[in-house]
Amino acid sequence: MVFVCSTYDERFTVEAFDRGQPTLTAWLTRHAATAQAKRTARVFVWTEEGRSVVLAYFTLSAHEIVEADLPRRLARGMPERIPAVLLGKLALDSRLHRRGLGGHLLFDAYHRVLAATHTVAARYLVVDAIEDDAARFYEHYGFLLSPTEPSLRMVRNLGDIQADIALR
């Protein structure tokens, strides 16, 4: 199966998408088009080559993180407010679970973020994990938990992401 990543628009079919997690499923079907139109998030979707049914998606938005929300080793020498990118959503259809594709979807997002930083500066990629399993997933890929309690906010330095991509 070959996946194609595209910017979301009305030609894509989202009704069959089921993440197995109601919040992420509902967001795609109810809010993705509005977020895209109002430029509050850029929505990227995965489809099978030559098809329009969405099998996975992620969102990226301009963001800012405050120094107090950074893990200590990332905060050293940083100003109070630091430009970042928010990975707001990352979801695979339940039919694709347990195939190791979550990491591929995340690396697809990494590539988009790094390309964007050639035009707009950002230092970190930020994610708010929705549950402990999601936090473990992001931790596996090098994200660090924010010291701010009681959140599952996680942060990764874009320089580290760029180094990971170079190793692949």
**Cβ-based neighbours of 54, under 8 Å, separated by 6 or more:** 8, 12, 13, 14, 16, 17, 28, 45, 46, 47, 93
Residues with active-site annotation: 138
| pLDDT tens by residue, 47-83 | 999 899 999 999 999 999 999 899 888 888 888 899 9
Burial of 116: CB neighbours in 10 Å, binned 0-12, 13-18, 19+: middle
Report the pLDDT value the prediction gives residue 133, as an integer from 0 to 100.
Answer: 93
| pLDDT tens by residue, 136-159 | 999 999 999 999 877 899 999 999
Report the pLDDT value the prediction gives residue 61, as an integer from 0 to 100.
Answer: 98
Q: Domain limits of the chain?
A: 3-167
Architecture of domain 3-167: 3-Layer(aba) Sandwich (3.40)
User: What global pTM score does this model have?
Assistant: 0.93
Distance CA 8, CA 40 (A): 13
